[in-house]
Chains A and B, each alone.
Chain A
Amino acid sequence: MTLAQEGDPRAFEILYDRHSGAAFSLAYRMVGNRVAAEDISQEAFLSIWRSRLRYRADRGSVRTWVLGIVHHRAIDALRRNLVHERRRTSAEGLEERQEAPELTDVEVVRRDEARQVRSAIGTLPPEQSRVVELAYFGGFTHSQIAEMLKTPIGTVKGRMRLGLEKLRRELVEQVA
Protein backbone atom coordinates (compact mmCIF):
# COMPACT_ATOMS: atom_id res chain seq x y z
CA MET A 1 0.00 0.00 0.00
CA THR A 2 2.87 2.33 0.80
CA LEU A 3 4.29 1.95 -2.71
CA ALA A 4 0.84 2.48 -4.19
CA GLN A 5 0.52 5.64 -2.10
CA GLU A 6 3.76 6.85 -3.62
CA GLY A 7 2.11 6.64 -7.02
CA ASP A 8 3.74 3.43 -8.25
CA PRO A 9 1.38 1.97 -10.91
CA ARG A 10 2.77 -1.53 -10.46
CA ALA A 11 2.08 -1.44 -6.74
CA PHE A 12 -1.42 -0.18 -7.47
CA GLU A 13 -1.90 -3.05 -9.89
CA ILE A 14 -1.13 -5.48 -7.08
CA LEU A 15 -3.66 -3.70 -4.89
CA TYR A 16 -6.17 -3.98 -7.72
CA ASP A 17 -5.51 -7.69 -8.20
CA ARG A 18 -5.95 -8.34 -4.48
CA HIS A 19 -9.19 -6.45 -4.01
CA SER A 20 -10.97 -6.18 -7.36
CA GLY A 21 -12.79 -9.49 -6.91
CA ALA A 22 -14.29 -8.48 -3.57
CA ALA A 23 -15.04 -5.00 -4.90
CA PHE A 24 -16.78 -6.25 -8.02
CA SER A 25 -18.68 -8.91 -6.09
CA LEU A 26 -20.08 -6.32 -3.69
CA ALA A 27 -21.00 -3.94 -6.51
CA TYR A 28 -22.70 -6.74 -8.42
CA ARG A 29 -24.63 -7.85 -5.35
CA MET A 30 -25.92 -4.30 -4.96
CA VAL A 31 -26.73 -3.29 -8.52
CA GLY A 32 -27.49 -6.66 -10.05
CA ASN A 33 -25.84 -6.38 -13.45
CA ARG A 34 -22.28 -6.81 -14.63
CA VAL A 35 -21.94 -3.62 -16.68
CA ALA A 36 -23.10 -1.36 -13.88
CA ALA A 37 -21.02 -3.28 -11.35
CA GLU A 38 -17.91 -2.85 -13.49
CA ASP A 39 -18.63 0.87 -13.95
CA ILE A 40 -18.89 1.28 -10.20
CA SER A 41 -15.74 -0.77 -9.62
CA GLN A 42 -13.83 1.32 -12.16
CA GLU A 43 -15.01 4.56 -10.53
CA ALA A 44 -14.05 3.22 -7.13
CA PHE A 45 -10.54 2.09 -8.09
CA LEU A 46 -9.77 5.32 -9.93
CA SER A 47 -10.99 7.22 -6.88
CA ILE A 48 -8.73 5.03 -4.73
CA TRP A 49 -5.78 5.75 -7.04
CA ARG A 50 -6.40 9.51 -6.92
CA SER A 51 -7.05 9.66 -3.19
CA ARG A 52 -4.49 7.05 -2.19
CA LEU A 53 -2.72 9.41 0.20
CA ARG A 54 -5.88 9.58 2.31
CA TYR A 55 -5.63 5.91 3.38
CA ARG A 56 -4.66 5.55 7.01
CA ALA A 57 -3.69 2.11 8.29
CA ASP A 58 -4.86 3.00 11.80
CA ARG A 59 -8.41 3.40 10.47
CA GLY A 60 -8.72 -0.13 9.12
CA SER A 61 -7.48 -2.56 6.54
CA VAL A 62 -6.99 -1.69 2.89
CA ARG A 63 -9.82 -4.07 1.99
CA THR A 64 -12.20 -2.34 4.39
CA TRP A 65 -11.24 1.01 2.85
CA VAL A 66 -11.69 -0.29 -0.71
CA LEU A 67 -15.06 -1.89 -0.01
CA GLY A 68 -16.23 1.23 1.81
CA ILE A 69 -15.57 3.28 -1.30
CA VAL A 70 -17.28 0.71 -3.53
CA HIS A 71 -20.29 0.64 -1.22
CA HIS A 72 -20.54 4.42 -1.25
CA ARG A 73 -20.31 4.57 -5.06
CA ALA A 74 -22.90 1.84 -5.49
CA ILE A 75 -25.31 3.63 -3.18
CA ASP A 76 -24.79 6.82 -5.19
CA ALA A 77 -25.56 4.96 -8.39
CA LEU A 78 -28.67 3.35 -6.93
CA ARG A 79 -29.97 6.62 -5.52
CA ARG A 80 -29.33 8.49 -8.76
CA ASN A 81 -31.28 5.76 -10.55
CA LEU A 82 -28.32 5.06 -12.79
CA VAL A 83 -28.96 1.35 -12.59
CA HIS A 84 -31.94 0.97 -14.84
CA GLU A 85 -31.98 -2.75 -15.41
CA ARG A 86 -33.87 -4.82 -12.98
CA ARG A 87 -31.63 -6.31 -10.37
CA ARG A 88 -30.92 -9.94 -10.80
CA THR A 89 -32.41 -12.46 -8.48
CA SER A 90 -30.17 -14.73 -6.50
CA ALA A 91 -30.88 -17.52 -9.00
CA GLU A 92 -29.28 -15.48 -11.80
CA GLY A 93 -26.41 -14.78 -9.48
CA LEU A 94 -25.97 -18.52 -9.18
CA GLU A 95 -25.54 -18.74 -12.97
CA GLU A 96 -22.76 -16.20 -12.71
CA ARG A 97 -20.94 -18.35 -10.20
CA GLN A 98 -21.33 -21.41 -12.35
CA GLU A 99 -19.50 -19.67 -15.19
CA ALA A 100 -16.26 -19.98 -13.23
CA PRO A 101 -16.25 -23.51 -11.76
CA GLU A 102 -12.50 -23.55 -11.19
CA LEU A 103 -11.93 -21.47 -8.08
CA THR A 104 -8.57 -20.37 -6.86
CA ASP A 105 -7.53 -21.20 -3.31
CA VAL A 106 -8.28 -17.64 -2.28
CA GLU A 107 -11.73 -17.86 -3.82
CA VAL A 108 -12.43 -21.10 -1.97
CA VAL A 109 -11.55 -19.42 1.31
CA ARG A 110 -13.69 -16.42 0.41
CA ARG A 111 -16.63 -18.65 -0.46
CA ASP A 112 -16.38 -20.45 2.90
CA GLU A 113 -16.16 -17.12 4.67
CA ALA A 114 -19.23 -15.92 2.79
CA ARG A 115 -21.18 -18.96 4.00
CA GLN A 116 -20.17 -18.26 7.59
CA VAL A 117 -21.21 -14.63 7.44
CA ARG A 118 -24.50 -15.53 5.72
CA SER A 119 -25.08 -18.08 8.47
CA ALA A 120 -24.57 -15.36 11.06
CA ILE A 121 -26.98 -13.07 9.21
CA GLY A 122 -29.43 -15.97 9.15
CA THR A 123 -29.61 -15.94 12.94
CA LEU A 124 -31.10 -12.46 12.94
CA PRO A 125 -34.84 -12.08 13.40
CA PRO A 126 -36.36 -11.55 9.93
CA GLU A 127 -37.41 -7.97 10.67
CA GLN A 128 -33.81 -7.08 11.55
CA SER A 129 -32.10 -8.87 8.67
CA ARG A 130 -34.61 -7.32 6.26
CA VAL A 131 -33.80 -3.72 7.20
CA VAL A 132 -30.06 -4.45 7.25
CA GLU A 133 -30.24 -5.98 3.75
CA LEU A 134 -32.43 -3.22 2.36
CA ALA A 135 -30.08 -0.58 3.73
CA TYR A 136 -26.65 -2.07 3.09
CA PHE A 137 -27.25 -3.98 -0.14
CA GLY A 138 -30.32 -2.17 -1.41
CA GLY A 139 -29.00 1.34 -0.88
CA PHE A 140 -32.32 2.53 0.60
CA THR A 141 -32.43 5.24 3.23
CA HIS A 142 -34.10 4.57 6.57
CA SER A 143 -37.00 6.80 5.47
CA GLN A 144 -37.51 4.78 2.31
CA ILE A 145 -37.36 1.52 4.25
CA ALA A 146 -39.88 2.83 6.76
CA GLU A 147 -42.23 3.68 3.90
CA MET A 148 -41.69 0.34 2.15
CA LEU A 149 -42.35 -1.65 5.32
CA LYS A 150 -45.05 0.68 6.64
CA THR A 151 -43.05 0.96 9.86
CA PRO A 152 -42.10 4.02 11.92
CA ILE A 153 -38.65 5.45 11.20
CA GLY A 154 -37.62 5.02 14.82
CA THR A 155 -38.49 1.32 14.64
CA VAL A 156 -36.44 0.92 11.46
CA LYS A 157 -33.41 2.57 13.04
CA GLY A 158 -33.86 0.45 16.16
CA ARG A 159 -33.95 -2.74 14.09
CA MET A 160 -30.78 -1.65 12.31
CA ARG A 161 -28.99 -1.19 15.61
CA LEU A 162 -30.28 -4.44 17.09
CA GLY A 163 -29.46 -6.32 13.89
CA LEU A 164 -25.87 -5.08 13.80
CA GLU A 165 -25.42 -5.79 17.49
CA LYS A 166 -26.66 -9.36 17.13
CA LEU A 167 -24.58 -9.90 14.01
CA ARG A 168 -21.53 -8.66 15.86
CA ARG A 169 -22.18 -11.12 18.71
CA GLU A 170 -22.69 -14.01 16.27
CA LEU A 171 -19.45 -13.26 14.47
CA VAL A 172 -17.53 -13.04 17.73
CA GLU A 173 -18.99 -16.40 18.78
CA GLN A 174 -18.00 -17.93 15.43
CA VAL A 175 -14.41 -16.89 15.96
CA ALA A 176 -14.50 -18.24 19.51
Chain B
Amino acid sequence: MARDHERHADDPAAYLLGALSELERQAFERHLMGCSTCGEELDHLRPATEALPRSVSPLRPSEALKSSVMEVVEREAAEREQPSRPRAAATGIRTRLRALVPSLTGRGPVVAWVSASFLLAIGLALGAVGTSLLSDDGARTLAARVDPVRVPEATGSLSVSNDQGRGAILRVNGMPSLPSREVYQVWVRRSGETVSQSIFSVGETGAGAAAVTDDLEGADSVLVTREPAGGARAPSGKPVVSVGL
Protein backbone atom coordinates (compact mmCIF):
# COMPACT_ATOMS: atom_id res chain seq x y z
CA MET B 1 0.00 0.00 0.00
CA ALA B 2 1.36 3.44 -0.89
CA ARG B 3 2.47 5.62 1.95
CA ASP B 4 -0.10 8.34 1.27
CA HIS B 5 -2.98 5.92 0.87
CA GLU B 6 -4.83 7.31 3.87
CA ARG B 7 -5.00 10.70 2.16
CA HIS B 8 -6.52 9.18 -0.96
CA ALA B 9 -8.57 6.33 0.50
CA ASP B 10 -11.87 8.13 -0.15
CA ASP B 11 -10.96 9.28 -3.65
CA PRO B 12 -11.70 6.28 -5.92
CA ALA B 13 -15.45 6.81 -6.16
CA ALA B 14 -15.09 10.57 -6.59
CA TYR B 15 -12.44 9.97 -9.25
CA LEU B 16 -14.66 7.59 -11.22
CA LEU B 17 -17.54 10.06 -11.07
CA GLY B 18 -15.31 12.89 -12.28
CA ALA B 19 -15.82 14.73 -9.00
CA LEU B 20 -12.19 15.54 -8.24
CA SER B 21 -10.75 18.89 -9.23
CA GLU B 22 -8.01 18.90 -11.88
CA LEU B 23 -5.23 19.12 -9.28
CA GLU B 24 -6.84 16.45 -7.10
CA ARG B 25 -7.24 14.19 -10.13
CA GLN B 26 -3.56 14.55 -11.03
CA ALA B 27 -2.52 13.87 -7.43
CA PHE B 28 -4.75 10.80 -7.25
CA GLU B 29 -3.44 9.43 -10.54
CA ARG B 30 0.13 9.81 -9.27
CA HIS B 31 -0.91 7.98 -6.10
CA LEU B 32 -2.64 5.30 -8.16
CA MET B 33 0.59 4.36 -9.89
CA GLY B 34 1.83 2.94 -6.59
CA CYS B 35 -1.33 1.88 -4.73
CA SER B 36 -2.89 -1.46 -5.53
CA THR B 37 -5.62 -0.95 -2.92
CA CYS B 38 -6.98 2.07 -4.73
CA GLY B 39 -6.54 0.28 -8.02
CA GLU B 40 -8.64 -2.63 -6.80
CA GLU B 41 -11.29 -0.24 -5.48
CA LEU B 42 -11.45 1.41 -8.88
CA ASP B 43 -11.85 -1.93 -10.62
CA HIS B 44 -14.60 -2.88 -8.18
CA LEU B 45 -16.62 0.32 -8.62
CA ARG B 46 -15.96 0.96 -12.31
CA PRO B 47 -18.88 -1.19 -13.62
CA ALA B 48 -21.30 1.03 -11.72
CA THR B 49 -19.95 4.25 -13.26
CA GLU B 50 -19.85 2.66 -16.69
CA ALA B 51 -23.57 1.93 -16.31
CA LEU B 52 -24.51 5.54 -15.59
CA PRO B 53 -24.43 6.79 -19.21
CA ARG B 54 -26.65 3.83 -20.11
CA SER B 55 -29.36 5.34 -17.93
CA VAL B 56 -29.77 8.17 -20.42
CA SER B 57 -32.56 7.84 -22.94
CA PRO B 58 -31.27 7.66 -26.50
CA LEU B 59 -31.30 10.84 -28.60
CA ARG B 60 -30.15 11.38 -32.15
CA PRO B 61 -27.57 14.00 -33.07
CA SER B 62 -28.08 15.99 -36.25
CA GLU B 63 -26.69 14.90 -39.60
CA ALA B 64 -24.79 18.19 -39.65
CA LEU B 65 -22.73 16.98 -36.70
CA LYS B 66 -21.64 13.88 -38.59
CA SER B 67 -20.83 15.97 -41.66
CA SER B 68 -18.63 18.35 -39.71
CA VAL B 69 -16.78 15.54 -37.93
CA MET B 70 -16.22 13.51 -41.09
CA GLU B 71 -15.10 16.57 -43.04
CA VAL B 72 -12.19 17.04 -40.61
CA VAL B 73 -11.45 13.32 -40.44
CA GLU B 74 -11.32 12.94 -44.21
CA ARG B 75 -9.23 16.07 -44.63
CA GLU B 76 -6.67 14.95 -42.05
CA ALA B 77 -6.56 11.45 -43.53
CA ALA B 78 -5.95 12.94 -46.99
CA GLU B 79 -3.23 15.28 -45.68
CA ARG B 80 -1.40 12.28 -44.30
CA GLU B 81 -1.40 10.73 -47.73
CA GLN B 82 -0.31 13.89 -49.61
CA PRO B 83 3.22 14.04 -51.01
CA SER B 84 5.54 16.87 -49.89
CA ARG B 85 4.94 20.24 -51.49
CA PRO B 86 7.88 22.12 -53.00
CA ARG B 87 9.08 25.27 -51.23
CA ALA B 88 9.07 28.61 -53.00
CA ALA B 89 12.34 29.88 -51.48
CA ALA B 90 15.04 28.51 -49.22
CA THR B 91 14.71 30.87 -46.28
CA GLY B 92 14.66 29.79 -42.66
CA ILE B 93 11.50 29.45 -40.63
CA ARG B 94 12.73 32.14 -38.28
CA THR B 95 13.12 34.75 -41.03
CA ARG B 96 9.70 34.06 -42.51
CA LEU B 97 8.04 33.98 -39.09
CA ARG B 98 9.57 37.35 -38.27
CA ALA B 99 8.38 38.79 -41.55
CA LEU B 100 4.83 37.75 -40.74
CA VAL B 101 4.87 38.22 -36.97
CA PRO B 102 7.16 41.12 -36.04
CA SER B 103 6.37 40.74 -32.33
CA LEU B 104 8.18 37.40 -32.13
CA THR B 105 11.49 38.86 -30.99
CA GLY B 106 12.85 35.74 -29.34
CA ARG B 107 13.43 37.68 -26.13
CA GLY B 108 12.08 35.78 -23.21
CA PRO B 109 9.77 35.30 -21.62
CA VAL B 110 8.33 35.75 -25.09
CA VAL B 111 5.15 37.65 -25.00
CA ALA B 112 3.92 36.82 -28.48
CA TRP B 113 0.48 35.41 -27.87
CA VAL B 114 -0.43 33.44 -30.94
CA SER B 115 -3.63 31.51 -31.46
CA ALA B 116 -3.70 28.16 -33.14
CA SER B 117 -5.56 29.53 -36.12
CA PHE B 118 -3.04 32.35 -36.61
CA LEU B 119 -0.04 30.04 -36.72
CA LEU B 120 -1.85 27.66 -38.99
CA ALA B 121 -2.39 30.67 -41.27
CA ILE B 122 1.37 31.20 -41.19
CA GLY B 123 1.82 27.60 -42.18
CA LEU B 124 -0.47 28.15 -45.15
CA ALA B 125 1.42 31.30 -46.13
CA LEU B 126 4.67 29.36 -46.04
CA GLY B 127 3.24 26.92 -48.49
CA ALA B 128 2.59 23.81 -46.46
CA VAL B 129 0.45 22.61 -43.61
CA GLY B 130 0.80 19.48 -41.54
CA THR B 131 3.66 17.07 -41.72
CA SER B 132 5.22 18.29 -44.99
CA LEU B 133 6.42 21.76 -43.93
CA LEU B 134 9.82 22.34 -45.54
CA SER B 135 10.19 18.59 -45.92
CA ASP B 136 11.76 18.73 -49.33
CA ASP B 137 14.83 20.57 -48.06
CA GLY B 138 15.61 18.01 -45.37
CA ALA B 139 13.66 19.64 -42.56
CA ARG B 140 12.96 17.25 -39.74
CA THR B 141 9.63 16.51 -38.09
CA LEU B 142 10.11 15.07 -34.64
CA ALA B 143 7.38 13.35 -32.67
CA ALA B 144 6.70 14.72 -29.21
CA ARG B 145 6.42 12.76 -25.99
CA VAL B 146 3.41 13.62 -23.85
CA ASP B 147 2.63 13.12 -20.18
CA PRO B 148 0.12 10.23 -20.31
CA VAL B 149 -1.40 11.26 -16.99
CA ARG B 150 -1.90 14.97 -17.47
CA VAL B 151 -2.52 15.11 -21.22
CA PRO B 152 -3.58 11.54 -22.10
CA GLU B 153 -5.16 12.45 -25.42
CA ALA B 154 -2.45 14.76 -26.69
CA THR B 155 -0.12 14.30 -29.63
CA GLY B 156 2.50 16.68 -30.91
CA SER B 157 5.33 17.22 -33.32
CA LEU B 158 8.15 19.66 -33.88
CA SER B 159 9.01 20.71 -37.41
CA VAL B 160 12.63 21.81 -37.38
CA SER B 161 14.04 23.83 -40.26
CA ASN B 162 17.20 22.49 -41.83
CA ASP B 163 18.32 26.06 -42.32
CA GLN B 164 21.35 26.01 -39.96
CA GLY B 165 19.09 24.50 -37.24
CA ARG B 166 17.26 27.77 -36.76
CA GLY B 167 13.67 27.91 -35.68
CA ALA B 168 10.89 25.38 -35.54
CA ILE B 169 7.15 25.09 -35.21
CA LEU B 170 5.59 22.98 -32.48
CA ARG B 171 2.13 21.58 -33.20
CA VAL B 172 -0.12 19.83 -30.69
CA ASN B 173 -3.50 18.14 -30.74
CA GLY B 174 -5.75 16.81 -28.08
CA MET B 175 -4.45 19.14 -25.42
CA PRO B 176 -6.85 20.08 -22.65
CA SER B 177 -8.06 23.66 -22.76
CA LEU B 178 -6.80 25.69 -19.83
CA PRO B 179 -8.65 28.07 -17.55
CA SER B 180 -8.24 31.72 -18.47
CA ARG B 181 -5.60 32.19 -15.78
CA GLU B 182 -3.22 29.68 -17.37
CA VAL B 183 -1.32 29.27 -20.62
CA TYR B 184 0.95 26.75 -22.29
CA GLN B 185 4.55 27.97 -22.54
CA VAL B 186 7.27 26.64 -24.83
CA TRP B 187 10.92 26.40 -23.75
CA VAL B 188 14.21 25.33 -25.25
CA ARG B 189 16.48 23.44 -22.90
CA ARG B 190 20.22 23.58 -23.45
CA SER B 191 22.89 22.38 -20.99
CA GLY B 192 20.46 22.42 -18.10
CA GLU B 193 19.16 25.92 -18.81
CA THR B 194 15.71 26.69 -20.18
CA VAL B 195 14.88 29.69 -22.35
CA SER B 196 11.30 30.73 -22.99
CA GLN B 197 10.13 30.79 -26.60
CA SER B 198 6.44 31.54 -26.73
CA ILE B 199 3.09 31.02 -25.06
CA PHE B 200 0.00 29.65 -26.73
CA SER B 201 -3.53 28.47 -26.20
CA VAL B 202 -5.44 25.64 -27.80
CA GLY B 203 -8.72 25.68 -29.62
CA GLU B 204 -11.82 23.75 -28.75
CA THR B 205 -10.45 20.63 -30.40
CA GLY B 206 -7.24 20.84 -28.38
CA ALA B 207 -5.16 21.87 -31.40
CA GLY B 208 -2.47 24.49 -31.07
CA ALA B 209 0.80 25.65 -32.57
CA ALA B 210 3.70 27.70 -31.32
CA ALA B 211 6.88 29.17 -32.72
CA VAL B 212 10.31 28.16 -31.49
CA THR B 213 12.45 31.05 -32.65
CA ASP B 214 15.79 30.29 -31.01
CA ASP B 215 18.63 28.59 -32.79
CA LEU B 216 18.20 24.89 -31.88
CA GLU B 217 21.78 23.92 -32.59
CA GLY B 218 23.16 22.26 -29.50
CA ALA B 219 19.78 22.28 -27.75
CA ASP B 220 18.70 19.21 -25.82
CA SER B 221 14.94 19.48 -26.03
CA VAL B 222 11.86 21.60 -26.56
CA LEU B 223 9.39 21.56 -23.69
CA VAL B 224 5.83 22.70 -23.01
CA THR B 225 4.64 23.50 -19.49
CA ARG B 226 1.51 24.97 -17.95
CA GLU B 227 2.12 28.43 -16.55
CA PRO B 228 0.17 31.39 -15.21
CA ALA B 229 -1.33 33.73 -17.81
CA GLY B 230 1.38 35.95 -19.28
CA GLY B 231 4.05 33.29 -18.92
CA ALA B 232 6.74 32.58 -16.38
CA ARG B 233 10.46 33.25 -16.17
CA ALA B 234 11.22 29.58 -15.58
CA PRO B 235 9.21 26.36 -15.89
CA SER B 236 7.13 25.92 -12.77
CA GLY B 237 6.60 22.20 -13.16
CA LYS B 238 7.29 19.14 -15.22
CA PRO B 239 6.60 19.45 -18.94
CA VAL B 240 3.37 18.12 -20.38
CA VAL B 241 4.96 17.80 -23.83
CA SER B 242 8.62 17.33 -24.69
CA VAL B 243 10.60 16.80 -27.88
CA GLY B 244 14.13 15.43 -27.69
CA LEU B 245 16.55 16.97 -30.15
Are B70 and A114 in contact, CB atoms less than 8 angstroms apart?
no
A147 at the interface (CB under 8 A from B): no
Contacting residue for A50 out of B65, B66, B155, B176, CB 8 A: B155
Q: Is the CB of B155 within 8 A of A51?
A: yes
Docked Cα-Cα span, A111 to B70, in Å, equals 27
Separation of A114 and B154 alpha carbons in the complex (Å): 32
With an 8 A cutoff between CB atoms, is B236 at the interface?
A: no
Chain B interface size range? 35 or more
Pick the contact of B55 from A37, A72, A76, A114 — CB < 8 Å? A114
Q: Is B129 an interface residue (CB 8 A)?
A: no
CA distance A7 to B13 in the complex (A): 35
B101 shortest CB reach to chain A, Å: 26
Q: Which of A46, A118, A142 contacts B20 (CB 8 A)?
A: A142
Would A107 and B58 count as touching, CB distance under 8 A?
Answer: yes
B72 within 8 A of A: yes
Complex interface bits, A23-62 against B, C-beta within 8 A gives 1, otherwise 0: 1111011000010011101110111011100100000100
Assess whether A160 is in contact with B19, with CB atoms less than 8 Å apart: yes
Q: In this assembly, does A135 line the interface, its C-beta being within 8 Å of a C-beta of chain B?
A: yes
B76–A114 touching, CB < 8 Å: no
Residue from B10, B55, B204 within 8 A of A118 (CB atoms): B55
With contacts A9-B73, A46-B72, A114-B58 taken as known, whether A164 is within 8 angstroms of B49 at the C-beta atoms is yes
* In the assembled complex, A96 has its CB within 8 A of some CB on chain B: yes
CB-nearest residue of chain B relative to A68?
Answer: B50
Q: Is the CB of B52 within 8 A of A117?
A: yes
CA distance A164 to B16 in the complex (A): 10
What does the 1/0 interface line of B34-70 toward A look like (CB < 8 Å)? 0000000000110111111111111111101110111
Asked if B10 and A158 sit within 8 Å, CB to CB, the answer is: yes
Interface SS of chain A: helix, strand, loop or mixed?
A: helix
- How close is B26's CB to chain A, nearest CB, in angstroms? 14
A157 an interface residue at 8 Å Cβ cutoff? yes
How many Å from the CB of B45 to the closest CB on chain A? 4
Closest CB-CB distance, B180 to chain A, in whole Å? Answer: 8
Looking across the interface, which residue of chain A has its beta carbon closest to that of B206?
Answer: A47
Residue of A25, A80, A118 with highest tally of chain B CB at under 10 A: A25
**Known A9-B73, A46-B69, A135-B14; contact A54-B152, beta-carbon cutoff 8 A:** yes
Question: How far apart are B2's CB and chain A's nearest CB, in angstroms?
Answer: 18
Residues of B122-150 contacting chain A, CB below 8 A: none
- Check A117 against B73 for contact (C-beta < 8 Å): no
Contact at A142–B50, with CB atoms within 8 Å?
A: no
Contact between B49 and A60, CB atoms less than 8 A apart: no
User: Does B59 lie within 8 Å of A38, measured CB to CB?
Assistant: no
B13 touching A157 by the CB < 8 A rule? yes
The yes or no answer to B164 lying at the interface (CB within 8 A) is: no
Q: Mark B168-206, 1 if CB is under 8 A from A, else 0.
A: 000001101101000000000000000000000000111
Q: Is the CB of A100 within 8 A of B60?
A: yes
Question: Which of B's residues lie within 8 Å of A, judged by CB?
Answer: 10-14, 16-21, 24, 44-45, 47-62, 64-66, 68-70, 72-74, 76-77, 80, 152-155, 173-174, 176-177, 179, 204-206
With A121-B55, A168-B45 known, 6 other A-B pairs at CB within 8 A are A42-B205, A75-B18, A114-B55, A168-B47, A171-B47, A171-B48
Binding site for B on A (CB under 8 A): 7-9, 12-13, 16-17, 20-26, 28-29, 34, 37-39, 41-43, 45-47, 49-51, 54, 60, 64, 67, 69-72, 75-76, 80, 93, 96-97, 100, 103, 107, 110-111, 113-114, 117-118, 120-121, 132, 135-137, 139-143, 145, 154, 157-158, 160-161, 163-165, 167-168, 171
